[in-house]
Amino acid sequence: MNFDRVAHLTSVHARYDTRIFQKMCSSLATHGCAVSLVVADGLGEEWKNGVHIIDVGARTGGRLSRMTRTVRRVFDQAKALNADIYHLHDPELIPVGLKLKRAGMNVIMDFHEDVPKQLLSKPYLSPALLRVLSVTMRLYERYACPRFDGIIAATPFIRDKFLAINPRCMDINNFPMVGELDAAVPWTNKRKEVCYVGGIGAIRGAREIVKALEYTSSDARLNLAGRFSEPAVESEVKSYPRWDRVNELGFVDRAAVREVLGRSMAGLVTFLPLPNHLDAQPNKMFEYMSAGIPVIASDFPLWRDIIVGNDCGLCVDPLDPLAIAGAIDFLVKNPERARQMGENGRHAVLVRYNWAMEESKLIDFYRSIMEVRS
């Protein structure tokens, strides 16, 4: 391997972020790299999984403070590392990447989402302002991204967008690590429960999945694992008549996620049809598949290709609680069919949608960056 020192930088994500730490950094450390992960959480310095986690201090103040003072601290720490490759994970770190490039460093930007589209879905800003911000961000990407040594995208759709800007672009999909979340629970030990794991908010279908419990005839319960992002939405769904059939679990670690998936008969990923969702590949979809449970997913063309194409779940109108309820009832009342769908999903992960394949792509991409610069 012709790169030894790698630095991953984030001013936003948690230090144990699944994509950044659990997959990318840990994989690189396993392959013999000296890996540093710069974070901003105030939890201090740490070595874990062979990765040196360096904390520049907790984010304070609002978004403007994070995008100025915190980003500046990340840049100062990054300069001191003198890495062979810098791998940046947040759009607000684009200026850091440009500064590192001017200093002669090898820089890769990693886009987890299509940011201009994501901005259009922000609930706390006016539509007119969102459109201006979206266009501005798109123009900024077109200015900055050709200057980087490489672009990594979390999905093929995002990759294709950036290929028109920078030909050194690769999709590294956020597919699960085989076996990590498979609790291997016999289907006869499953409970009459379905689950949702992840950030909980209006655009991720929180209202509709709780409302769906009013229309189920199977008395299935909902395991709800994650944090609410909007207090008003949290208060609203907790006032719904069937909130008493929700097991509110809050944020859970990976071991607890494994347990939740193991006891559930299906996993829900019914995001609303917003621009940033239509071409996304939600990590939770593949994690449900890797755990061997069927997926109840939004009926978007890309998602339908994955779910129906692999016969590993059901696609529904995410805006229709009745349709969601019907899918829940079908799977709970037809356990043998649900089990077969779950096995189909697990098989699809084993042969295609797994991190081992993406890990190889990541290392090959790093090598190609170094070869171009040598």
Q: For residues 188 and 9, give the distance between their C-alpha atoms in angstroms, rounded to a whole number.
A: 45
pLDDT band, residue 374 (cuts 50/70/90): low
Instruction: Identify residue 81 by its one-letter amino acid code.
Output: L
- Give me the pLDDT at residue 14, please: 94
- Average pLDDT, integer, range 53-72: 83
pLDDT at 204: 95
Neighbours of 304 (CB within 10 A): 13
Q: Give 231-296 as a DSSP string.
A: HHHHHHHTTSTTGGGEEEEES--HHHHHHHHHH-S-EEE-----HHHHT---HHHHHHHHTT--EE
Identify the band that residue 123 occupies on the pLDDT scale cut at 50, 70 and 90: low
By C-alpha distance, which of 268, 97, 288, 90 is closest to 175? 288
For residue 369, pLDDT beyond 70: yes
Work out whether strand 46-48 and strand 5-9 pair parallel, antiparallel, or are unpaired: unpaired
Rounded distance between C-alpha atoms, residue 218 and residue 107, angstroms: 53
Q: Is pLDDT of 3 > 90?
A: no
For 144-166, b/e burial (b = at least 16 CB within 10 A) is bbeebbbbbbbbebbbebbeeeb
Q: Could you give the angle at the alpha carbon of 243 between the alpha carbons of 239 and 249, nearest 5°?
A: 115
What tokens were used for 116? 């201009």
- Of 3-12, 70-79, 128-137, minimum mean pLDDT range: 128-137
What is the average per-residue pLDDT within 233-261? Answer: 96
pLDDT at 266 over 70: yes
7 has pLDDT over 70: yes
As a whole number, mean pLDDT of residues 102-119 equals: 92
Question: Residue 48's beta-bridge partner residues?
Answer: 51
- Return all residues near 214 (Cβ < 8 A) that are at least 6 apart: 240, 241, 242, 321, 325
Question: Per-residue pLDDT for 124 more than 70?
Answer: no
pLDDT at 280: 87
Note the pLDDT tens digit of each residue in 64-79: 666 779 999 999 999 9
| Per-residue pLDDT at 306 | 96
Q: What domains can be seen in the chain, in order of their start residue?
A: 5-175+354-373 (3.40.50.2000), 187-351 (3.40.50.2000)
306 vs 41: CA distance, rounded Å? 36
pLDDT tens, residue by residue, 138-184? 999 999 999 999 999 999 999 999 999 999 999 999 999 998 998 77
90: pLDDT strictly greater than 90: yes
Say what the pLDDT of residue 183 is: 79
Cβ pair 29, 35 in contact under 8 A: yes
3-state secondary structure 142-209: HHHHHHCCEEEECCHHHHHHHHCCCCCEEECCCCCCCCCCCCCCCHHHCCCEEEEECCECHHHCHHHH
Which are the contacts of 128, defined by CB distance < 8 A and separation ≥ 6?
none
Q: What angle do CA 172, 93, 55 make, to 5 degrees?
A: 95
* Chain mean pLDDT for the chain: 93
For residues 22 and 363, what is the distance between their CA atoms, to the nearest angstrom? Answer: 15
pTM equals: 0.89
Task: State how far the Cα of 328 lies from the Cα of 316, in Å rounded to an integer.
Answer: 11
pLDDT of the residue at 127 = 81
pLDDT at 201: 94
Rg of the chain (C-alpha set) = 21
Average pLDDT over residues 295-303: 96
Please answer whether residues 120 and 275 qualify as being in contact, where contact means their C-beta atoms are separated by less than 8 angstroms: yes
- One-character DSSP codes across 80-131: HH--SEEEE--GGGHHHHHHHHHTT--EEEEESS-HHHHHTT-TTS-HHHHH
Indicate whether 326 pLDDT > 70: yes
Distance CA 66, CA 63 (A): 5
pLDDT of 121 reads 75
Does 85 have pLDDT greater than 90?
yes
Question: pLDDT per residue over 187-217, tens digit each?
Answer: 888 999 999 999 999 999 999 999 999 999 9
Share of the chain above pLDDT 70, in %: 97
Mean pLDDT of 350-357: 96
